Amino acid sequence: MSAAIVTSGLTKRFGRVTAVDGLDLQVERGEIFGFLGPNGAGKTTTIRLLMDILRPTSGSVEVLGASPTQPATRACVGFLPADLHIEPRYTAREALAFLGALRGGFDEAEVRRLLERFDLDPGRPFGELSSGNRRKVGVVQALAGKPDVLILDEPTSGLDPLLQHELLSLLQERAAEGATVFLSSHVLPEVERIASRAGVLRDGRLVWVGRIHDLRARARQRIDLHLDGRADAELFRDIPGVSAVEATGNVVSVTIEGPVDGVLKQAAQLSVQRVVSHETDLEDAFLDWYR
């Protein structure tokens, strides 16, 4: 079975500006793939190329083994743009009916389930909705057709924390049913929670692709060792992987990049009363790719 999304040498230029530069990417069917990068990295341009909203300057795109220029291919894709533009006088119900008709019709029972799950009143005009409720309309229209591929541009933007959690849970459910989820985001924790793999985009170039646990393996972590006696930072300073050491009273705090084996071996020679391990700082690992 072919991959869900394949790009080869995908490039998009706007005059002298190269927004996407030689992107080679493969997203497997049934996986949740996180597409990471700050605003301006080229994420939205890439998504517009995947959706055939933009045409590439060079290179190629395949979605479900075919060109996204084909209506049959687009009918199998649920798309949530960064900004969903709908006629303000349309109610959410009318907007969903219109968007569903473009895809051959949504299952009404599925639409009702999604509206209830996201606590969305379908009778209010789109122009009267808050930004969060407009985002909900976009989420519902992307999911209502139960597409084989979901391409989502910053899907949790504008949603409150409870609804962010609900949406991420729903995406995991859809992936478990066999859908492929391509999730663009600049929020690392949400990608870490649900994605199995991720790619990091910098200035239009893909600078890293791998499994989330590989990114975590690069991340810095801090261990606080509470000793029976005064702490000596010098005992840990020259251990491979140690990037910082600070001693205060009987506590020595060690920041480590990579395996902690060397620090633990050194600690085993001391009288350690308590060990406190702080959460791995994935934000640092993510930023390392930009440095």
Per-residue model confidence as pLDDT tens digits over 87-102 = 999 999 999 999 999 8
Which value, to the nearest 10 degrees, does the dihedral of the CA atoms of residues 83, 196, 284, 249 take? Answer: 130
Cβ-contact 174, 158 below 8 angstroms:
no
Q: Would you tell me how many other CB atoms lie within 10 Å of the CB of residue 81?
A: 17
Q: How does residue 243 score in pLDDT terms, banded at 50, 70 and 90?
A: confident
Class level of CATH domain 220-281: alpha beta
At residue 256, φ and ψ (nearest 5 deg) are -125, 140
Cβ-contact 80, 155 below 8 angstroms:
yes
Average pLDDT of the residues in 105-113: 92
Q: Which of 123, 4, 121 is nearest to 68 (CA)?
A: 4
Average pLDDT of the residues in 38-55: 94
Q: How does residue 280 score in pLDDT terms, banded at 50, 70 and 90?
A: low
Structure tokens at 123: 């009778």
Listed by start position, the domains of the chain span 5-216, 220-281
Name, of 42-56, 158-172, 276-290, the range with top average pLDDT: 42-56
**Residue 45 pLDDT:** 97
Average pLDDT of the residues in 234-254: 92
In total, the chain counts a number of residues equal to 291
DSSP assignments along 200-259, one per residue: EEETTEEEEEEEHHHHHHHSEEEEEEEESS---THHHHTSTTEEEEEEETTEEEEEEES-
Q: Judging by beta carbons within 10 Å of its beta carbon (0-12, 13-18, 19+), is residue 157 exposed, middle or buried?
A: middle
What is the biggest distance separating any 2 CA atoms in the chain, rounded to whole angstroms? 73
Whether the per-residue pLDDT at 213 is higher than 80: the answer is no
- Which residue stretches of 5-160 are H helix? 43-50, 71-74, 92-102, 108-117, 131-143
Average pLDDT of the residues in 48-60: 97
Q: Judging by beta carbons within 10 Å of its beta carbon (0-12, 13-18, 19+), is residue 49 exposed, middle or buried?
A: buried
Whether the per-residue pLDDT at 261 is higher than 70: the answer is yes
**Over the chain, what is the mean pLDDT?**
90
**Residue 278 pLDDT:** 77
Q: Which of 230, 280, 276 is nearest to 253 (CA)?
A: 276
Q: Which of 276, 281, 269 is nearest to 225 (CA)?
A: 276
Whether the per-residue pLDDT at 136 is higher than 80: the answer is yes
Architecture of domain 5-216: 3-Layer(aba) Sandwich (3.40)
